[in-house]
Amino acid sequence: MKAMLRNTSLIIFSSVIIYACNTDKPKNNTQAMAEQMTATPSDGRYAKGDKVPNETVCMVNDAYMGKKQIEVPHDGKTYYGCCEMCVERIPKDKSVREATDPFSGEKIDKANAYIVMVGDNGEVAYFKNEDNYKKFVAQNS
C-alpha cells in the first residue's frame, strides 16, 4: 500500500513538472504588465519592477525562481532552466530563447536581456536594455 501511494505521489509530482515545463504562457498585455509593476515584495529579495539576475530566471517558464538555475550553454550564450526538461528544450526550441521587448516590440535574445519582475508570482518581462525598461515604465505610468 505504501509503495502504491509513493508511486502515485511520484506520478502526480512528475506530471506537474512536465506540465509546468511544457506549458506556453499567454503573451502579456503591455498595459496589464505596467499595472503589475508596483513595489510588492515577492520573496523579500526582489519586488515587482526590480531587475532580477538572469541566472535566477527559468527562461522557459519566464519566471523568477529565487535561486540560481541550471546553466544551458547554447550558441555561445548562456540560458537558464529550472529542470531537465527545460535544459533539453532550450537548445531545441528557438521560441523559448527569444522574447518580445514590451517597449519596442522587437524580438530579443533572453540570454542578453534586461530582465524585470512584473508579477506577484515571479513573472518576468525581457527588455532589450535598461533604457527601454525605463521608457516603458514612463510611457505606461
Q: What is the mean pLDDT of residues 65-75?
A: 96
Which pLDDT does position 141 carry in this prediction?
A: 84
| Spatial contact of 128 and 113, defined as CB atoms under 8 Å apart | yes
Does pLDDT of 136 surpass 60? yes
Does pLDDT of 42 surpass 50? no
Any idea where the domains of the chain sit in the sequence? 27-139
Average per-residue pLDDT for the chain:
81
pLDDT in tens, 77-105: 999 999 999 999 999 999 999 999 999 99
Percent of the chain with pLDDT over 90: 65
Distances in whole angstroms, Cα of residue 134 to Cα of each of 54, 81, 111, 130: 18, 27, 20, 6
DSSP labels for 42-108? SSSS-BTT-B--GGGEETTTTEE-SS--EEEEETTEEEEESSHHHHHHHHH-HHHHEEE-TTT--EE
Which pLDDT does position 44 carry in this prediction?
A: 59
Percent of the chain with pLDDT over 70: 69
3-state secondary structure labels for all residues of 6-48 = HHHHHHHHHHHHHHHHHCCCCCCCHHHHHHHCCCCECCCCCEC
For residue 92, the tally of other CB atoms under 10 A from its CB is 9
- Record the pTM: 0.71
| Spatial contact of 106 and 137, defined as CB atoms under 8 Å apart | no
pLDDT in tens, 102-127: 999 999 999 999 999 999 899 999 99
Q: What is the DSSP letter of 110?
A: G
Contacts of 115 (CB under 8 A, 6+ apart): 51, 52, 53, 54, 57, 64, 124, 125, 126, 127
User: What is the C-alpha to C-alpha distance for residues 90 and 74, in angstroms, rounded to an integer?
Assistant: 8
Q: How confident is the model at residue 134 (pLDDT cuts 50, 70, 90)?
A: very high
